[in-house]
Structure 1
Amino acid sequence: MLKFVFLLTSLIVIISFSYHVRAQQNPTEIQHIQDHKPLMNKVWETFDMLMYKVTKENGKTIYTPHFPPPLAALDGKTVELQGYMIPMKSGFRHNSFMLSVLPIQQCMFCGQNGIPAMVEIILSNGKKERMSDRPITIKGKTVLNRRVKDRLEIWITDAVILNEAG
């Protein structure tokens, strides 16, 4: 019985502490997380069409990107895209980073379907920008990566950040 009382008391203390910590968080930050909606648009929906052909080669499974016609039609086209900056390496300023419809604090594997793969952004003229946790709008040229295995399948090159969207 004493063990049960101890466990129950411990549980109450933990719940009270977590409620107290949450109450001390910045209300704007909490509201932003609650109000967040993925930054989907027609471009993101088209990028979400990315598929993979799966083949076997010498006992290894090989995944080759497949770009259906609507996605293939964007190759070389200039697009505008809203999203969250996700760094690919440590540091404050970056010339290249990933762009996601979800903020870095939100797991892209949690929640609903329809979350497209991230896109690799390469800023124009070697310009470096400070990472932000707010959504941004970028404009640049779409490149579909069919060959480079250690990079993302969709790139936006010669990109410029138009503004912080949030």
Structure 2
Amino acid sequence: MLKIIVLSACALLSASASTWAMAGAVEQPPSFFAPLTDIPGVVSWSLLGKATTVKAKKGRMVPQYTPEISALDNTDVKVQGFMMPLEPGQKQKHFLLTVTSASCPFCLPAGPEGVVEIKSRTPVKFTYAPIVMQGKFKVLANDSMGLYYRITDAAVGSE
């Protein structure tokens, strides 16, 4: 029964995406599970995904970074990902960049190692396609929201 429900949902999503694209209402979203291809000069998600979580004082869980990840702190980097808006509107200055496209508007598509908070200089138009953002990368040791990474003074980067 569950298999039938999942297959029906997938067919509905596929049909809806095709209908939207033909109607020209919105661009067609990419395949929800297609992995991003690494781009030379762009920080890879496989590197960012090497962060682990450890128990700190008082039982709180905190991130532990590899030396390669720590070396990125306060450097200018490019990261490729899928835009996940945090506010309504076509243009966003504050959003999340994720390793996979969101399949639910209310759920993060990855853990904290697969998300980068973006604070952009200028508004960026929403897209379903992967984008590259460039800016000052911060490795967060103890973020109150549980985030591991942030890019500030960000702009759309070239590949």
Query: TM-score scaled to structure 1, two decimals?
Result: 0.66
Q: Which runs of 4+ in 1 moved over 4 A?
A: 18-25, 27-30, 39-42
Q: Identity of counterpart residues, as a percentage?
A: 22
Give the partner amino acid of 2:109: M
Structure 1's unaligned 5+ residue stretches are: 1-10
Map 1:1-166 onto structure 2 (within 5 A).
Answer: 26=18, 29=28, 32-33=30-31, 36-40=34-38, 42-55=43-56, 57=58, 61-105=59-103, 108=109, 116-124=113-121, 127-150=122-145, 152-162=147-157
Which protein is bigger by CA-based radius of gyration? 1
Residues 66 and 24 of structure 1, relative CA distance in 2, 3 Å threshold = closer
Residues 85 and 21 of structure 1, relative CA distance in 2, 3 Å threshold = closer
Residue 103 of structure 1 aligns to a residue in which SS? coil
CA contact (8 A) 1:39 1:83 kept: no
CA RMSD in angstroms, aligned pairs only: 3.5
2:24 match: none
Q: CA deviation at 1:36?
A: 2.5
Q: CA deviation at 1:65?
A: 1.7
Residue 95 of structure 1 aligns to a residue in which SS? strand
For the residues of structure 2 that align with 1:147 and 1:21, how far apart are their CA atoms?
38
Q: CA deviation at 1:121?
A: 0.9
Query: TM-score scaled to structure 2, two decimals?
Result: 0.68
Structure 2's unaligned 5+ residue stretches are: 22-27
Higher helix share: 1
* Count of residues in Structure 1 that have an aligned counterpart in Structure 2: 140
